[in-house]
Amino acid sequence: MKKIIIFLLFIFSFLNADISQYFPKLDSRVIDEAKILSPNVKKDIDLILKEEEEKSSNQIVVVILNSLHGYTIEEYSYQLGRYWQIGQKDKNNGVLLVISMDERKIRIEVGYGLEGALTDKIAHEIINYTIKPNFKANQYELGILKAVNEMIASIKGEYVAKPKNSEFNDVINAFIPLAFFALIFISMFINSISRKLKSQFLYKVTNSSMGSSFFAFFSYIMSEAFTTSNLIVALIVFIVVFIFNLKTARDVDFDKLSKSNYTNSSRNSGGFGGFNSSRRSSGGGFSGRGGSFGGGGASGGW
């Protein structure tokens, strides 16, 4: 099946010769047309790739595009790899990490010589479990830097496979803010019941829960990414605020509170009492060239 795909891509190269007009100039190991990398981070990634090439002769290039100009990420990356001939001619040890911002697509294109080390499965894991979560959190630099290090680790045979439940964990983490938010409304509902029951304990607990859930919710969503460590921080915030509110809470006169609520409701049109929120190059220097690509790698999006 793979040979058929390679053959079709080879035929496609003759039918779409003009695609090369959309290729950027190969003047660095990190080509950032979209300008999403800071100068310092771009320099750091370039240095990592340069050191890898000096040690192993493997050539890795990161390409960040504005657009694919109507082509699929697979077509564009395959043709770009053949056009640039990244990697040594006798080793075919080139790798391209291609990112297109307009289409929100990612592709790791692997030369023939490295397909046994940087397999399609590993490329898929790097895209879906490393790049994708960071890109969703707008952490583009971190996602690319981690991906580069993982690609190098895989080539060295040091890559550690991601757990199979990584995607499940991502889904669970995405629902954590909703859980905190739901807890706020549940606390409000039980709080209204505590007034009717005139239960001091239940009233204090639900009041404390509302405040602590609110702070935990915002401490989590304001984090750079939804991770386990950020969840732990949010839970700590929840516990600390909850205990503080509970200890400082005073007894209330439910009769006066009831009269106050009645007076307020008669003056206003009704509804929920809410809270306001405000939103807030390095040079080339390649030692080789002449590597060949055959369609190996993986693709994804965010």
What is the tens place of the pLDDT at every residue in 206-262? 888 888 888 887 777 665 455 566 778 888 888 998 898 888 888 777 666 665 554
pLDDT for position 294: 64
pLDDT for position 280: 36
Token readout for 159 is: 């890559």
Distance (Å, rounded) from C-alpha 250 to C-alpha 200? Answer: 9
pTM tops 0.85, yes or no: no
pLDDT for position 4: 52
Whether the pLDDT of residue 26 is over 60: the answer is: yes
Whether the pLDDT of residue 296 is over 60: the answer is: yes
For 76, residues 6+ apart whose C-beta sits below 8 A from its C-beta are 19, 22, 68, 69, 98, 100, 107
For residues 126 and 99, is the Cβ–Cβ distance under 8 A?
no
What is the tens place of the pLDDT at every residue in 56-91? 999 999 999 999 988 999 999 999 988 898 888 888
Cα 39 to Cα 30, 44, 45, 89, 133, distances in angstroms: 11, 9, 10, 31, 23
- Quickly name the fold that domain 2-162 has: Diaminopimelate Epimerase; Chain A, domain 1 (3.10.310)
Domain ranges of the chain: 2-162, 166-257
Percent of residues, the chain, with pLDDT higher than 90: 31
pLDDT for position 60: 95
Q: What angle do CA 228, 189, 214 make, to 5 degrees?
A: 35
Provide the total of helices (H) and of strands (E) in the chain, helices listed first: 10, 5
Q: Report helix, strand or coil for 290.
A: strand
Average pLDDT, the chain: 78
